[in-house]
Structures are given as structure tokens and as C-alpha cells.
Amino acid sequence: MELKSLIDKTNIPQHIAIIMDGNGRWAKQQGEDRIFGHHEGVNSVREIVEACGEIGVKFLTLYAFSTENWNRPKDEVNALMELLVATISLETPNLHKQGVKLHTIGDIESLPESCQKELQESISITKDNTRVNLILALSYSSKWEIMNAVKKIAIQVESGTIKVKDVNNTLMDKMLTTSKFPDPELMIRTSGEHRISNFLLWQLAYAEFYFTDTLWPDFRKDDFFKAILAYQKRERRFGLTGEQIQN
């Protein structure tokens, strides 16, 4: 039986966030260079974006490059940046055709100009699409994002625009780079690592976590559908009791 057909269409997460991990180990297993794994990982991205359109996931956030990843060997960082430019340029027509709207979160100004240019172009081409919102986290770290939000709020308090009593969860949500998106209901991490690695610390407060040993280049549509089926079996309680939820 096709896994996709088992999915309950009335309980699809609106927003799924993914830590795409394991490209390097996947390449090593093939006796190849780490970069080869990153290239192969693009095929998984293509499939998962497509799958979101097929089942009606409206927001997909992909952790593509963390602030900490800048500390990797220079060759790998350069190759990742080149891959980003090439992929965006190559995939934009396909994304556009599928009704995907591209967004970015993270310190985009720290990316090479060629990347920024390619991203801006793709964002502008896809700006009117509504089928799937694809959010790429690039040079992203959640502590960086939260710190910036706190600074913006402090400036407003200092200038008297707002009072300390106006600082609440809604204002924090507004100051984050994710202000236009709902919080993810589901966070997936591939490659067997059970950690969050500075990803969406605020926004994942009540997300369901799904971990799989599958390495990112092997993670394809059926693996994604399996994660959604697992999510659909969870009881999301938000601090209430099971009895309260069932009633």
C-alpha cells in the first residue's frame, strides 16, 4: 500500500522544519568526498518540496547552513556556497512551476554576494506563489536570531516606543526572522543525531520531534510520509491532560 494514501488529510502539519543531516557520512560510505554528499542531498530536497505540494504542507523550513558551519574547512564552505548558487539558479523554474514561494531566514548578508543575488532573484520570481512556502535557513543560528530580537526590543524600550509591560510572546514572535510563518508542528532530523544544533529554539517550543537514522541523501518521499504518519499518531497535549484533550 502506498504510504501517501495512509496519511490523514485532515491532520497535515502546516509547517515542517527539517535538519538535513548526514551528507558527509553518506559520501564517506560511498568512498566519496563529503561534497559529493551535499550534491546528492539536493535530490532529496527536490523530492521533499514536491511531496509538500502533493499532500498540502504549506511551510517547509530547511536547515541548509548554520552559523557554526562557517567553521568547517574552507574548501567545504566554498563548495557549499557554490552549490547553493547553482542549485537556486537551476531549480527556480521548477519551483516556480510548482507554485513554490522562496524565503530565507538567517544572516543572509554574511553570504557571498553571488549567493545573495541568486536568492534575491529567485525570491522575486516566486513572490506571488502560494502553494508551498520554502524557507531556507542559511547562515542561521537560533541564538543569533533571539539575540537580535531582544536587541530590537531593547532599542524600542529605550526610545520609549514601547514599555517593558508591552514585551510578550506575540512581540517576540514579531521580532524573529520567522514572523511571517506559523510555528512548526513537526521537526525532523536525519542521520541519527538527537540534538537541535541551534535551530528554531523559540519556534519549536511545542513541536513534535521525529528522528531517523536515515542519512539526508537517502531521505526521500516515503521517509517523509513515514515521519508524517508518526506525527499523526502523537497526542499533542500542550500541558493539558490526555483526558482534557480527548474530551
Which residues in 55-114 contact ligand IPE (CB under 6 A)?
63-66, 69, 80
Would you count residue 21 as binding Mg ion (CB under 5 A)?
yes
Of 20 and 100, which has the nearer Cβ to ligand IPE? 20
- Toward ligand IPE, which CB reaches closer, 65 or 210? 65
With CB under 5 A as the contact rule, which of the stretches 21-29, 85-93, 107-115, 127-135 interacts with Mg ion?
A: 21-29
Output 13 or 24, the one with its CB closest to ligand IPE: 24
Residue 35 touches ligand IPE, criterion: CB under 6 A? no
Query: Least CB distance from residue 14 to ligand IPE, whole Å?
Result: 22
Is-catalytic flag, 33?
A: no
From CA 100, how far away is CA 59, in angstroms rounded?
Answer: 10
List C-alpha distances in Å: 23 to 44, 47, 156.
11, 16, 42
Q: Is 94 a catalytic residue?
A: no
Choose the contact partner of 20 out of ligand IPE, Mg ion, none; CB within 5 to 8 A by kind. Answer: ligand IPE
Whether 16 and 203 have beta carbons less than 8 Å apart is answered as no
Nearest to 33 by CA among 86, 73, 87, 63: 73
Nearest to 56 by CA among 12, 97, 16, 96: 12
Of these residues, 8, 11, 21, 169, which one is catalytic?
21
H helices of 30-141, where? 34-55, 74-97, 113-125
- Smallest CA-to-CA distance from 198 within 69, 80, 26 is with 69
- Which among 170, 204, 178 has a CA at the least distance from the CA of 189? 204
Residues near ligand IPE, by CB under 6 A: 19-25, 63-66, 69, 80, 191, 193, 195, 197, 216
Q: Which residues lie near Mg ion (CB under 5 A)?
A: 21
